[in-house]
Amino acid sequence: MGDGITEIKDRAFSGCASLNYFLIGTNVNTIGEEAFSDCVSMARFYSLSAQPPVCGNQALDDINKWDCTLYVPSQSIDLYQTSSQWKDFLFIKDASNIEVASIALNTSELILKVGQSYKLTTIVSPTNATNPSLSWTSSDHTVAEVSTDGTVTALNVGVASITASATDGSNVTATCTLTVSPTDATGVTILAPESTHFKVGESMQLTATIDPETTTDKTLIWSSSNPTVVTVDATGMVEAIAVGSATITVKTTNGLTDSVDLTVDKTAVSNITLSRSELRLEVGESCILTATVNPANATDPSLIWASSNPSVATVTSEGHVTALSVGSAIIIATANDGSGVSATCMLTVDKTLVTSITLSETELSLEAGQTAQLTATVTPSTATDQTLTWSSSDPTVATVSATGLVTVIAEGTCTITATTTDGSNLSASCQINALSGITEINADGTDDVIYDLQGRRVNHTQPGRIYIVNGQKRLM
């Protein structure tokens, strides 16, 4: 009460059961009857009057004088200790050190979202407390912090008690119960990648930010509209699987989304290397060329094979080259992806020489006028030039045609030879024993009468010739 008040009327504060602090100014000299009846919660009572005010009947009786401290001017302590009703206070102290009697917060309950702040304000009573300064504490620093000026900052979801305490030793406190609720995301943004185009096998890291920064649940859910083209994992790492396009979307737990369109370009062939750059084959031979395509992850590594001269050599779609005739050809492997990249092999096809000749007969005995067909088998069957020349060592005994037909002319022996013309200088021969057409000559009765095959009697024979002896042919 201000210093202009001199009297407190009867029953002035009667029934103020929750009143725990009261101050009487310096000029109050009278307190009426039952002025403070039922003020059972009074803890501090200040009387700044130098002379103890005169108390009416039961003016102070309901104040619990064992728990309530009476504060009076220091020079008046003795007077109060002997005055009616005042002397009943167990504790009478010097009022020059006015302790804080109460602290009132502007709110006793507070709800904040994570990241939000709020400044609590206080009213310290009495206003003339000697040391009105306060200290602030949080019951759970993981939930909220409070600064020295009462500014509360919510850190995590939960409940904490924010307490303002008097620092004058009065042990007076005031508490605000703080509830921190989750902060929902208000937006999510995928940071623009350096490029939205990449190639099969490549990967890139996508990053997203959530607004506000204080969002409680920062869980992000990543997805791809076309996982066969682009996949994305839980961290936003994307990988190109196949040529095409896909939309990558990120979503917060409360349903906010952002997306980015990605394109997977084909990886063109940059280089082709053949297993052979030059090749020599003989007619009929074959060879498989293998190709190495770079890069290894080219989208379409298939090749188109071609021969510049199909009459000389052909090539299959697998690079199988077959030599057909003597000459040269270029075997070309071209990328099928339209990149225009190719590789070549220079092929030379040489003639295939004869390695051996076999005649159908190696020796024949024929009579004059008879014929026989000799057949020659040339090895290999793929020899380029299988032409043979036929010759007789003695055309007077037997002749041979260009096709190997032997005709016996007269009695005797000769050799028929088939010779290659391809430069291999190979040959094969058949011996011809030519007999006369006379099959029998009757002897004149004389032993050992000898005739030649023309029926003429001879006295002397020549080795290697056939004669008729006693009517029988005999080789002498």
C-alpha closest to that of 398 among 359, 369, 441, 358: 369
pLDDT digit string (tens) for 363-396? 999 988 899 999 999 999 888 899 999 999 999 9
Alpha-carbon distance 459 to 450, whole Å? 7
- Rounded-to-integer distance, Cα 119 and Cα 117, Å: 7
**441, pLDDT greater than 80:** no
Neighbours of 385 (CB within 10 A): 17
pLDDT number for residue 150: 97
330, pLDDT greater than 60: yes
Q: Is residue 440 very low, low, confident or very high in pLDDT (cuts 50, 70, 90)?
A: very low
DSSP 393: S
Q: How confident is the model at residue 438 (pLDDT cuts 50, 70, 90)?
A: low
Q: Convert the pLDDT of each residue in 61-101 to its tens digit.
A: 999 999 999 999 999 999 999 999 999 999 999 888 888 88
452 pLDDT band, cuts 50/70/90, is low
By mean pLDDT, which of 8-12, 329-333, 434-438 is the weakest?
A: 434-438
Is 443's pLDDT higher than 60? no
Phi, psi (rounded to 5 degrees) for 86: -70, -35
Higher-confidence residue of 129 and 231: namely: 231
User: Mean pLDDT lowest for which of 124-133, 173-182, 286-295?
Assistant: 124-133
Q: Give the number of other CB atoms < 10 A from CB of residue 374.
A: 22
What is the enclosing helix (H) or strand (E) of 79? helix 77-80
Q: Which is more confidently placed, 263 or 441?
A: 263
Mean pLDDT, residues 421-446: 75
Reported confidence tier of residue 145, pLDDT bands at 50, 70, 90: very high
pLDDT in tens, 103-122: 999 999 999 999 899 999 99
Between the alpha carbon of residue 33 and those of residues 6, 10, 150, 342, 427, the distances in Å are 15, 5, 43, 119, 161
Average per-residue pLDDT for the chain: 91
| Mean pLDDT across 233-249 | 95
Q: How confident is the model at residue 450 (pLDDT cuts 50, 70, 90)?
A: confident
DSSP H or E stretch at residue 467: strand 466-469
pLDDT per position as a tens digit, 193-239: 999 999 988 999 999 999 998 888 999 999 999 999 999 999 999 99
